Amino acid sequence: MTGELPKIQLLVVQPTPFCNIDCRYCYLPDRSSKAMVASETLCNLFTRVFASGWAREWLSVIWHAGEPMVMPIGFYRDAFRMIDRLKPEGLLVTHSFQTNGTLINDEWCEFLREEHVNIGVSVDGPQRFHDLNRRTRSGRGTFDKTVAGIRLLRRHAVEFHVISVLTAASMAAAREMFDFYVSEGIERVCFNVEESEGDHVSESLGGEEAGEAYYRFLSEFWRLSAANPGKIAFIREIEHALKMILRPKEANFYNELVEPFAVTSVDHLGNVATFSPELLGLKNPAYGDFIIGNVNRQSFAEMAESPVLAAMKRDIDAGVALCHERCEYFSVCGGGEPVNKLAENGSFISAETAYCRVHKMRGMDLVLDAIERLSPDASHGWHAARGGELREAIGLPAAE
Amino acid sequence: MSFPKYLKTLSGLLPAGAVGASMILAASAPASAHEEPAASTTPKARVSERLAAIRDAVSEVSNEAATQQHASPMLAWWNGGFFFRPWGNWDNWGNGWRNWDNWHNYWHNW
């Protein structure tokens, strides 16, 4: 690699591939393996990350796994202290878990709060949607345990958000989804439409109707949230689209999923992959297992010279160039998601995917349409008529 | 929608800040992608052109606000609450990984 130094922003760590449940749409092939990371491997990982100088100012560490909470609390306590000892002065390291919530107990809540760990809980909405896909190995639904975990987080005042995978059925039930989140005190929500990754082929992304269904869902959910202030504080897809669309032309913009090492993923053996985290664990004739090195044997500078990385970067860059040439949404996307291009189109050297059409484009369309339906006079008049009400709703002091 | 219309719309919308703008826009969100835009009956421009015109308008509004920020408490809040300058210090306008959400990072900056 040549030119500017990479910047590692997101470090996705899989301390074990094991997951205690067996979701129907999971893309991780080794989720039954109970292997665990060795403390030496973990130490090598962070030593090498910090030695690279590629983690600058801040670094988000996501303990993703499998299910991160199958590892004991003591494992994380030791790991966090080790990272504190190793990290350069001035570097802010934040820790996050993405969990199915089924193993959350009082001890976990105390630990998460003490350590300021950011928590994302995977819950797909009401039981009739959640239990269709999020099941144990014996086929039982996991809704009750996940919701019990969410209630414990709330009782212990641990901040969290949820990620919900949307299917055709749940996209047709925005009101029911909204009511569920409100009833459980869930204030921050993120939506993923079930997608094709690895060996999993989505049943929800096919055809033009999926895009329209997603647009309708998001629109209704957004309007319900605005009409009920104080219930849903954050809808990732709306916030993201607003941020991308309403940005000044001078603002920097990039797609971290097509930048080498911006998102770096490491498995329990110390194997390293980059670009889309889902690639770690997959196999492909052109790129093998997508592994560009191992923290037990190589520095990050050495991994940057990996032939696998070079081949991936060449092809991902070519795919981004196609997006730039063809896609109307390039300025708010930056070249799509490599793992979806590979899964859906069979090649990184490709542009639009069904995932783009549904999840990205329709979300942007919704916000664009809302801006254009807001008449110039209305946006000013709204302030005149409801400015005080708005300021109160969002916690601002009254205007002088 | 033309640049002057975007400019006028956004100069009313952006001072509401991120949360306020979202609430205002939600009220005008169409239920369906096939609904005719309420504010215009003219054919839509290409998406890329609409997005570029909006960015131009945002820059115009924010530059104007920056010069006036000491004159208005609302604009002072807006400048720190929705955008801040210089743009070169802001490196978080990007696409993230969908199986995670870094709302904490977003909110640090908002």
**ipTM value of the model?**
0.87
How many CB atoms sit inside 10 A of residue B107's CB?
13
**pLDDT of amino acid B16:** 82
Q: In chain B, whose CA is at the least distance from the CA of A118? A: B104
Write out residues 147-186 of A within 8 Å (CB-CB) of B.
Answer: 161, 163
Q: pLDDT class for B89, splitting at 50, 70, 90?
A: very low
Which of A118, A225, A277 faces B97 most closely, judged by CB atoms? A277
Could you read off the pLDDT of A66-84 as tens digits, one per residue?
A: 899 999 999 999 999 999 9
pTM, two decimal places: 0.88
Q: Does B43 touch chain A (CB under 8 A)?
A: no
| Segment A3-21 mean pLDDT | 92
Taking 50 as the threshold, does the pLDDT of residue B108 lie above it? no
**With pLDDT > 70 as the criterion, what percentage of chain B qualifies?**
50
Higher pLDDT among residues A262 and A392, named by residue: A262
User: What mean pLDDT is reported for chain A?
Assistant: 91
Could you read off the pLDDT of A155-168 as tens digits, one per residue?
A: 999 999 999 999 99
Q: pLDDT class for A197, splitting at 50, 70, 90?
A: low
Give the tokens for residue A181.
Answer: 């989140």
Q: Does B41 touch chain A (CB under 8 A)?
A: no
**pLDDT of amino acid A3:** 67
| Segment A274-298 mean pLDDT | 95
| Segment A273-283 mean pLDDT | 92
**pLDDT of amino acid B39:** 46
Q: Does A136 touch chain B (CB under 8 A)?
A: no
| Segment A214-218 mean pLDDT | 96
Q: Does A350 touch chain B (CB under 8 A)?
A: no
How far, in whole angstroms, is CA A81 from its chain's centroid?
Answer: 25
Taking 50 as the threshold, does the pLDDT of residue A182 lie above it? yes
Residue A325's nearest CA partner among B51, B43, B48 is B48
| Segment A300-319 mean pLDDT | 98
**Do residue B104 and residue A94 have CB atoms under 8 angstroms apart?**
yes
Taking 70 as the threshold, does the pLDDT of residue B78 lie above it? no
Higher pLDDT among residues B80 and A319, named by residue: A319
- Compute the distance between CA of residue B96 and CA of residue A240 in angstroms, rounded to an integer: 9
- Compute the distance between CA of residue A198 and CA of residue A17 in angstroms, rounded to an integer: 15
**Which string of b and e fits A25-59 if b means at least 16 CB within 10 Å?**
bbbbeebeeeebbeeebbbbbbebbbebebbeeeb
Could you read off the pLDDT of B27-66 as tens digits, one per residue?
A: 999 987 777 554 445 567 899 999 999 999 999 988 877 6
Q: In chain B, whose CA is at the least distance from the CA of A387? A: B16
**pLDDT of amino acid A341:** 95
**Do residue A118 and residue B104 have CB atoms under 8 angstroms apart?**
yes
Which of B17, B54, B62 faces A371 most closely, judged by CB atoms? B54
The minimum CA-CA distance between B79 and chain A, rounded to whole Å, is 12
Could you read off the pLDDT of A333-368 as tens digits, one per residue?
A: 999 999 999 999 999 999 999 999 998 999 999 999
For A10-245, which CATH class? alpha beta
**pLDDT of amino acid B76:** 36
Instruction: Enumerate the domain spans of chain A.
Output: 10-245, 256-352
